[in-house]
Structures are given as C-alpha cells and as structure tokens.
C-alpha cells in the first residue's frame, strides 16, 4: 500500500497537495469548533450551528478532494462530468447535515458515534462520486481491498471524531479536528491507491495542466473564504458571548441604585484580599460603615431623596478610592471598605478620606443634609483569622461607634465580644421571662391639672431579672425589638392592661404604649379589637400611645391603621412630642386625641428659656387645635405650678406617683377592684 500511495503522491503537483492538506486541516479545525458549539446549544441555535458545521465540513471534504484531483497527473488527458461533480458536492453537504443532526439528537448514547459514521460514509460517497465524474483517456481498474479499507477508515475516524466532540471533558478541538482530517485524508489517499489507470493511445485531445492548476487554486481560494466565514461567525459569537457574560457578571456584582460594588462583589474581593494579605504577610482592614440619621431623610424628604443621597455618596467614594482600596454598598444605608496595608498611616489616611466624604454636607434641590456615619474597623489577622469573624468584629466596632456620640470611628476590641455575648444572653433570658410569666406591668397615674383628679394610668412594662435584678426598659425594649420579641410582648401587655383595667373602680382610662416594630408588623386594629372583646374593657377606656417616628415609614398605611383603631372607639395619644419631627401636618392629618409633651422640656423649664418657650408654644397649639396636652416627667412642685400657670391640661411624673404594681395601688386605696371585698384587694395584680 505504501508503495502505491507513494506513487500516487508522486504523481500529484506537490504545491496543490499542500494546498489540499491546508484546506483539509483548516476546514477540519473550523468544523470541530462549530460542531462542539452545536453540542453545547439547544433548539434553533443548535440547528444553526449544525448547518454552519455541515457547510464547513462539506467544503473541507469536497475541496480537499477536488484540489488534490486537479493536482493529480495520471499521464493521460482528463475531464470532469459537471453533473456528477455537482452531485458529489451535494452528497458532502447533505451527508454532513444528516450526520451532525444524528450526532446531536441524543436519542441514544451512541448517537454521536453513529452520526460521525454517517459523515464518514458521506466522505466516501462524495469521493467515489467525484471519481465517477473524473474521466480519463485510459482503462480504469480498482483495487477492492484498498477501496474497502478507505471506506472503513473514513467511517471509523468520522465516528471517533464526533464521539470525541460530544465528550467535552476529553474532546479538545485539536483532537476532534485531527480525527476529522484523518477521516478525509485516509479516504482520499487510500482511495486513490485503489485507482489504477492503463493509458490508451488516443490522438488529438490533451488536458491543459496549467488550466487545471488555475482551477484548483480558484477552488482552494473559495474554500478558504467559506471556511473563513464559518470561523468568523464562530469568533463573533464567541466574542458576543464573552461580552454578554462580562456584562451579566458586572450587573451581578454592581449595586443597581448607585453603581457601586455590591455584597457579592464584596464577598469576592475580601476573599482575594485576605489570601493576598496572608501570602504577603500584610494586614487587611475591614471597615463597616452605617449612615447616621438616614431614616430621617427618607421620612422627611421621601425615598427619592434618600436614593439621591446614596448616589451622591457613591460618587464621592468613587473619587476617593485608590489602588488596593475598595468600597461597596452592602445594604440600604450600609457600606463596607477594604484596605490591604503595611503601615498604619495608610489606614489612617483612608479613614480620614472616608470621614471627609461622609461628613461633608449633601445638597439636594433646595435643602442640605449632614448625614455623617459610624465606622467600625477590624483588622486581619490581628482581630480575626476568618472572614466570618472579621465581618462580625467590624460590625461590633461599628455598633459601638454608633452608640458612642463622641467618636465616629471605633476599632474592634476583644471586650466587644463580651458585650455582644451579654446581649445575646439577655435576649435569651427575656424570651424565657416571657414564657415563664416573669414580666409585669406597673401603672403610673395621670392627673388633671385644673381639678387634681386622677384621669387614668399609663401601663409600663417591668422586668425583674432573677440574677440581675431590675432591668431598665431602655435596655430590654430595644433588645426585644431587635429580636422580634416585641410583637409577643406588646400583645401580652395590651391584654394584661385591658384585663386589669376592666376591674378598676372608678373606671379610669389605661394608656398602653405601641412599639414602632409592633405598629409595622402587627395587625393592630384586629389585635386591639380582640383584646377589648376578651377582657370586656370598654373601648373608650383604652388609650394607645405612639411616637411620631412610628407613623413616618408609611404615612398612608399609618393613617388607615389609626382610623380603623379610632373606629373601635379607642383614643390615640402622640407621645414624646417635641423631641422628634413635631410636624404640625401630623396633628392636622392624623386623628390624635392627646399630645404628650416630652419630659426633657419640663426638666429644663426653670433653667432654660427656650424650653419654657417650647412648652408655651405646644400648650397654645393644643388649645388652638382642641387637643389636650399632657406633660410628662413632673418631679417638683415648681414644675407643676409652672405648667398649671401656663394652662396645661394633664400631668404625669414622680411628684404625683411613681410607677407601681396594681396590688400596691389597690393597697393604697387609689384603685378598687369591682366585685371584690376590700380585704381581698391586696391580692390583686
């Protein structure tokens, strides 16, 4: 075989043989890439890639054959049958299409190999159809062993090529292209070894070798153009996919509102920076940033203003960040900074620039806001050796900075963990206290200033801890709000106060405070209605107190909730008036029945003229709107006299009575319980 094959190659024009081999190799490589893409897609896209792969395959098969044949010199005149030549091209294209369709069908695990065998068979059919179109002036004979071997080699290597292409793990493009080129090459040269010509003495007609070579080069050029078009389409699709993936990745790692890196980008960056810090022996600072008073901006100016504040801060951060520095937005008004550093001066400089950006006034439309922020810093590996602990420690430091009004930046200290653990323990104790009935309600008297008579009592929650003793509501109420316990506690206090008040004689009012969390997450009208129905307390004897900040999150919903509560016959009091927004629009828009003046103004009334002026203004406002005003925190007779002189309606404070359990009020005779003998009153509560 090698002797005959060498003879066949010897009879070829060596340059056209090289061109044919280039067509075969290039076409096979493009076909391999296109067919791999066909295996990786579905539906219409798969059909499109199959067509492109079949076109490249047909060009590689047909042009390799005919360029090689045009360079072949049998020593006798030759010609080509146009119809059979065209048919051979159709066989190459149709066979490739069918083969690739079968290979990608997935109807059986052997489908890729079966499809490849069909492509190999198409190569053989195309070759021998092309040979039938090749007319020579001589006696043609065929060597059947070589002919059968050529078909077997083409079918075998074709099956291997597509089976390998389907197995992406081990089917590289180079391997697939090599197998496909081998299928084409072995078919041609083995098939040509089977082709034998015995020249006949014929006078007159001789083929023109120069014309045949020119035709061969033209075919080769067209082959390269078509194969190149297939390659370009693949590369363009690859480029578009890469751009799309990069765009999607950028979107996934960017905050939609500000364009800053988001939490996902932060998690990716901190992993990289911690690894680099460990490898280089450096240190990494993680800075937790939480804006101050950002909720006030949303409440007073609307969420569009809050969004604009965030965008302005994002632009400031983008202008200050340098190489090896990183700032991301990880939550509503929460940001985080990362700095890998060797000298402490670099960290101090970064923190100074962050503070400058955060504390510089922000102008928006016709107003100006000074938000500021609390920054907590934790350093790797000094404060933590894992990402989770580092993030937690930065949060602890940030919360400490938020609680300390004297500084905006706080570095992590180990004792912060002790504080956090203590808060977690206290939260668990509070949950247990609620389950075991260890919470209690005390009542503080509210008195009419003109008559001196009792108007009602405010229900105040108290907790006597088994080990710690009395725990201030200022400590455990925020803890309950953070842990979601406030919903259960608030519902219990409401029912407890209504149940006890239903037995009071005289039938005083009872005032119950509402938490902002409770107002947002609970169906208050239904809860109040159920409490009144269960306890039998007349709605007119229940007063609910809430602060102005409670209703600002969603004014329309708040108005609807309060109107539904008012429809039950329950009265509403605006608590801590003067310390929050103190908006006149709130008093005009919402159905409040009482204004409670904050105790801070009463305590400063005798030493601060501004406090006195505010008291007078609030009392005048109440009278003009027809809303009674109750002043809190009355501790001295002078304070009471001042308020009486200014026309205050009601007062509440230690001077008139400290908060006390119901049993103590009953024992003192301030309250009697309906239907119980006087001797049994001390057992109440």
* Domains with residue ranges and CATH for the chain: 2-199+207-243 (no CATH), 263-413 (3.30.70.270), 423-683 (3.20.20.450)
| C-alpha–C-alpha distance, residues 460 and 292, integer Å | 29
Other CB atoms within 10 Å distance of the CB of residue 108: 10
Under the banding of pLDDT at 50, 70 and 90, the label for residue 74 is low
The Cα–Cα gap between 330 and 263 comes to: 5
Which pLDDT belongs to residue 535? 93
- pLDDT, tens digit, 9 for 90 and up, residues 232-261: 555 555 555 555 555 555 666 678 888 888
CA-nearest of 320, 319, 316, 335 to 265 is 335
Partnered with residue 504 across adjacent β-strands are 673
When pLDDT is cut at 50, 70 and 90, the band that residue 679 belongs to is very low
CB atoms closer than 10 angstroms to residue 315 = 13
Model pLDDT, residue 660: 94
**Residue indicated by tokens 């149709």:** 94
As given in the structure block, the two tokens for residue 610 are 């501004």
46 by DSSP, 3-state: which?
helix
Determine the 3-state secondary structure of 554 from DSSP. Answer: coil
Cα–Cα dist 475/488, whole Å: 17
Q: What backbone torsions phi and psi does residue 608 show, to the nearest 5 degrees?
A: -135, 115
CA 315/CA 338 separation, integer angstroms: 17
Residue 363 vs residues 193, 324, 360: alpha-carbon distances, Å? 87, 30, 10
pLDDT band at 169 (very low <50, low <70, confident <90, very high): very low
- Strand 594-597 to 629-631 pairing: parallel
Q: How far apart are CA 133 and CA 287, in angstroms?
A: 79
Q: In 292-407, which ranges are E strands? A: 325-329, 334-341, 362-364, 367-369, 373-380
Query: Which of 493 and 322 is assigned the larger pLDDT?
Result: 493
In this predicted model, what pLDDT tens digit does every residue of 462-471 receive, in sequence order? 998 888 889 8
SS3 of 652, please? coil
Cα separation, 289 vs 494, whole angstroms: 38
- Percent of the chain at pLDDT > 90 equals 23
Distance CA(370)–CA(360), nearest Å, equals 7
Q: What Cα–Cα distance (Å) separates residue 595 from each residue in 113, 188, 588, 638?
A: 86, 101, 12, 22
The whole-number pLDDT of residue 422 equals: 77
**Which stretch of DSSP H or E encloses residue 408?**
none
- Categorize the per-residue pLDDT at 219 as very low, low, confident or very high, splitting at 50, 70 and 90: low
Tokens for 52, please give them: 């492109």
pLDDT category of residue 52 using cuts at 50, 70 and 90: confident
pLDDT at 635: 92
pTM above 0.75, yes or no: no
d(CA 127, CA 540): 102
Higher pLDDT, 543 or 71: 543
Q: What local confidence, expressed as pLDDT, does residue 48 receive?
A: 77
Q: What is the DSSP letter of 387?
A: H
Residue among 575, 567, 578 at smallest CA distance from 532: 567
Contact between residue 467 and residue 411 where contact means Cβ atoms under 8 Å apart: no
CA distance 258 to 266: 15
**19 backbone dihedrals φ, ψ, rounded to 5°:** -60, -40
And the tokens for 505? 């004689």
H or E stretch covering 510: strand 509-513
DSSP β-bridge partners for residue 507:
none
- Per-residue pLDDT averaged across 673-680, rounded? 58
Query: pLDDT (tens digit, 9 = 90+) per residue, 549-568?
Result: 777 656 777 888 888 999 99
Question: Residue 500 burial (CB < 10 Å; 0-12/13-18/19+)?
Answer: buried
Token pair in block for residue 167: 């197995």
Say how far apart CA 569 and CA 494 lie, in whole Å.
16
Q: How many Å separate Cα 100 from the centre of its chain?
A: 41
* pLDDT tens by residue, 499-537: 999 999 999 999 999 888 777 766 889 999 999 999 999
Contacts 24+ apart (CB under 8 A), 140-149: 140/195, 140/196, 140/197, 140/198, 141/196, 141/198, 142/194, 142/195, 142/196, 143/4, 143/193, 143/194, 143/196, 144/194, 145/194, 146/1, 146/4, 146/190, 146/191, 146/193, 146/194, 147/191, 147/194, 149/190
Beta strand pairing call for 629-631 and 334-341: unpaired
Q: In sequence order, which residues have a C-beta less than 8 Å from that of residue 40 and are 6 or more positions away?
A: 168
Q: Tell me: cis bond preceding 506? Omega within 30 of 0 counts.
A: yes
Model confidence pLDDT, tens digit, residues 572-618? 998 877 665 555 667 777 888 998 988 888 888 777 888 888 888 88
Q: In the predicted model, is pLDDT for residue 2 greater than 50?
A: no
As a whole number of angstroms, the distance between CA 448 and CA 460 comes to 20
pLDDT at 636 over 80: yes
Q: Residues near 545 by Cβ (< 8 Å), separated by ≥ 6?
A: 458, 511, 512, 513, 514, 572, 573, 574, 575, 596
**pLDDT of 299 higher than 70:** no
C-alpha span between 267 and 391 (Å, rounded):
10
Q: Worst-scoring range by mean pLDDT, 154-158, 188-192, 494-498, 503-507?
A: 188-192
Closest to 584 (Cα-Cα) out of 609, 618, 615, 612:
618
3-class SS string, 250-278: HHHCECCCCCCECHHHHHHHHHHHHHHHH
Greater model confidence, 461 or 478: 461
Per-residue pLDDT tens for 413-466? 887 767 777 777 888 889 888 888 889 999 999 999 999 999 999 999 999 888
Residue with tokens 């099956």: 159
């Amino acid at each position: 075989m090698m002797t005959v094959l060498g003879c066949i190659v010897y009879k070829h024009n060596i340059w056209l043989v090289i061109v044919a081999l280039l067509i075969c190799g290039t076409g096979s490589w493009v076909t391999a890439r296109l067919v791999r893409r066909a295996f990786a897609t579905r539906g219409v896209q798969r059909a499109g890639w199959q067509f492109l792969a079949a076109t490249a395959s047909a060009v590689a098969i047909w042009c390799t054959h005919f360029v090689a044949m045009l360079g072949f010199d049998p020593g006798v005149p030759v010609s080509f049958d146009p119809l059979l030549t065209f048919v051979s091209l159709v066989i190459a294209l149709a066979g490739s299409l069918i083969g690739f369709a079968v290979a990608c069908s997935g109807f059986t695990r052997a489908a890729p190999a079966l499809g490849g065998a069909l492509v190999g068979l198409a190569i053989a059919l195309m070759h021998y159809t092309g040979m039938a179109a090749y007319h020579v002036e001589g006696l043609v004979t065929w060597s059947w062993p070589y002919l059968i071997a050529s078909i077997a080699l083409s079918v075998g290597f074709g099956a291997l090529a597509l089976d390998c292409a389907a197995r992406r793990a081990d089917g590289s493009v180079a391997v697939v292209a090599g197998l496909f080129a081998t299928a084409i090459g072995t078919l041609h040269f083995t098939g040509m070894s089977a082709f034998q010509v015995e020249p006949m003495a014929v006078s007159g007609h001789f083929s023109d070798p120069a014309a045949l070579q020119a035709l061969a080069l033209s075919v080769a050029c067209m082959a390269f153009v078509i194969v190149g078009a297939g390659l370009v389409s693949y590369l363009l699709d690859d480029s578009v996919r890469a751009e799309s993936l990069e765009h999607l990745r950028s979107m996934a790692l960017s905050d939609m509102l500000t364009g800053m890196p988001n939490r996902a980008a932060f998690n990716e960056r901190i992993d990289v920076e911690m690894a680099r810090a460990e490898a280089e022996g450096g240190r990494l600072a993680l800075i937790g940033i939480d804006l101050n008073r950002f909720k006030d901006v949303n409440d007073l100016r609307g969420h569009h203003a809050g969004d604009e504040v965030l965008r302005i801060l994002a632009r400031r951060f983008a202008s200050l960040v340098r190489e090896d520095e990183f700032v991301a937005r990880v939550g509503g008004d929460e940001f985080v900074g990362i700095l890998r550093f060797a000298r402490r001066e670099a960290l101090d400089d970064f923190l100074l620039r962050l503070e400058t950006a955060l504390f510089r006034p922000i102008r928006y439309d016709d107003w100006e806001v000074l938000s500021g922020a609390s920054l907590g810093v934790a350093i790797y590996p000094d404060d933590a050796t894992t990402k989770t602990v580092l993030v937690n420690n930065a949060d602890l430091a940030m919360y400490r900075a938020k609680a300390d009004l004297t500084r905006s930046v706080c570095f992590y200290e180990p004792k912060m963990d002790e504080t956090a653990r203590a808060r977690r323990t206290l939260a668990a104790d509070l949950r247990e206290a609620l389950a075991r009935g260890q919470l209690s309600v005390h009542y503080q008297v509210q008195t009419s200033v003109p008559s001196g008579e009792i108007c009602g009592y405010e229900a105040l929650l108290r907790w006597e801890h088994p080990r710690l003793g009395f725990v201030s509501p200022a400590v455990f109420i925020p803890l309950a709000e953070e842990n979601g316990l406030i919903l259960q506690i608030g519902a219990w206090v409401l029912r407890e106060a209504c149940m006890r008040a239903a037995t009071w004689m005289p039938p005083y009012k009872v005032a119950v405070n509402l938490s902002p969390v409770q107002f947002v997450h609970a169906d208050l009208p239904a809860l109040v209605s159920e409490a009144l129905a269960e306890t039998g307390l007349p709605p007119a004897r229940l007063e609910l107190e809430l602060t102005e900040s409670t209703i600002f999150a969603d004014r329309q919903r708040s108005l609807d909730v309060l109107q539904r509560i008012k429809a039950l016959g329950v009265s509403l009091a605006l608590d801590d008036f003067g310390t929050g927004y103190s908006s006149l629009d709130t008093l005009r828009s919402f159905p409040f029945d009482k204004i409670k003046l904050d105790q801070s103004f009463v305590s400063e009334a005798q030493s601060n003229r501004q406090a006195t002026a505010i008291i007078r203004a609030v009392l005048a406002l109440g009278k003009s709107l027809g809303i009674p005003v109750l002043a809190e925190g009355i501790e001295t007779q002078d304070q009471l006299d001042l308020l009486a002189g200014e026309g205050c309606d009601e007062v509440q404070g230690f001077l008139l009575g400290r908060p006390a359990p119901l049993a103590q009020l009953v024992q003192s005779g301030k309250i009697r319980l309906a239907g119980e003998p006087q001797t049994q009153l001390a057992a109440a509560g």
